[in-house]
Amino acid sequence: MNRPRILIPGIIRERVVERLKDAFDIVRIDSADPALVARSEAAAVSGVAVSGRLDAAMIAHLPALEIISSFGVGYDGVDVSAAAERGIVVTNTPDVLNDEVADTAIGLLLNTVRRLPQAETWLREGRWQRDGAFPLSPLSLRGRKAGIYGLGRIGMAIARRLEGFGLDIAYHTRQPREGVPYTYHSSLTALAQAVDILIAIVPKTPETHRTINADVLKALGSNGVLINVGRGWTVDESALVAALKNGVIAAAGLDVFYDEPNVPDGLLDLPNVSLLPHVASASVATRDAMADLVVDNLIAWFDRGQALTPVPETPFTRKSG
């Protein structure tokens, strides 16, 4: 029997490629561009392993496509509606990165509030010896209330960590989550009003676009700290720069940006921000676990007709065995 043919457009973790080679025929192209796969070759592709974008045109170019295995828990780069219309299953890599991303969120929060990266720079530049002690951080975690925008898999892992810090916790989601001890707010503004740390960990969807806007930042208040480890899409960056400049909020820590890898100068110029280059899940161990799930989804689909972690929009099983 012919081995299923898997297309890999663009860059993906090499572990994915190495493992896929054992079970499948692999076709690699530089990017997800239909012009890079001849029609005859495209007709034989039944699976895709992708990290990043896969648009409707590329999906349309693959007539025998059954499954798109996407690297990462956020799958906003894949045109899921185009896949769903054709009964193509899309899979992501949930859960295996929860703890890593939550750890990073806490690290970013501490960096932002206690200015630890600036303190290290002070030491490395010899200023401790030359100028004495690093200035006291104007902000502290003590006595704060934390609000989590998106209490899903990762939001819960962040909340559990914040409990250990002794902070009060509240959250906003569209539906209250059953069985959690945290205070629910039915709107983002009400959550921002009630807390002085706002941690965003929602997916990129039409509904979450620039929801952290001038009004929400005003509600967060002059002692407020914004942390975003979800998607840059969720924040109105111009409003954020203005709020940080004018003391509408106190500080922000960001792992994600609206137009990555471009970070606005307005943010880079500010002293009261801590910035990371989208590294929340970026350890070897966690990226390996994500790579394995990309591969295991494809194996499960072609061996048993059922993907391990299909996204909710494509709850399909395999039609032909």
According to CB under 6 A, which one of 175, 178, 284, 320 is a site residue for ligand NDP? 175
Q: Do strands 67-70 and 25-29 pair parallel, antiparallel, or not at all (unpaired)?
A: unpaired
Indicate whether 179 belongs to the interface with ligand NDP (CB under 6 A). Answer: no
Per CB under 6 A, does 107 bind ligand NDP?
no
The window from 16-24, 121-129, 160-168, 224-232 that contacts ligand NDP (CB under 6 A) reads 224-232
* CA geometry: angle 310, 315, 317, nearest 5 deg: 95
Closest to ligand NDP by CB, 89 or 108: 108
Query: Which is nearer to ligand NDP, 162 or 202 (by Cβ)?
Result: 202
Q: Decide if residue 46 touches ligand NDP (CB under 6 A).
A: no
Q: State yes or no: residue 254 binds ligand NDP (CB under 6 A).
A: no
What Å distances lie between residue 89 and 77, 83, 283, CA to CA? Answer: 15, 7, 28
Active-site choice (260, 287, 304, 318): 260
Strand 273-275 and strand 145-149: pairing?
Answer: unpaired
User: Is residue 186 within the footprint of ligand NDP (CB under 6 A)?
Assistant: no
Question: Does position 256 bind ligand NDP by CB under 6 A?
Answer: yes
**Measured distance CA(68)–CA(7) in Å, rounded:** 9
Q: Which of 144, 185, 231, 287 is catalytic?
A: 231
- Residue environment code for 234-250, b if the CB has 16+ CB neighbours within 10 A, otherwise e: bbbbebbbebbeeebbb
Is residue 173 involved in binding ligand NDP (CB under 6 A)? yes
Q: Is the dihedral of CA 238, 264, 255, 258 positive or negative?
A: positive
For the chain, the 3-state helix, strand and coil shares in percent, each to the nearest 5, are 40, 20, 45
Residues 208, 212, 215: CA angle, nearest 5 degrees = 130
Residue 7 touches ligand NDP, criterion: CB under 6 A: no
Rounded Cα–Cα distance for residues 143 and 278 (Å): 29
Position 202 contacts ligand NDP (CB under 6 A): yes
Does residue number 109 form part of the binding site for ligand NDP (CB under 6 A)?
Answer: no
Q: Is 61 a catalytic residue?
A: no
Active site residues: 231, 260, 278
Contact residues for ligand NDP (CB under 6 A)? 73-74, 94, 97, 101, 150-155, 172-175, 201-205, 207-208, 229-231, 255-256, 278, 280-281
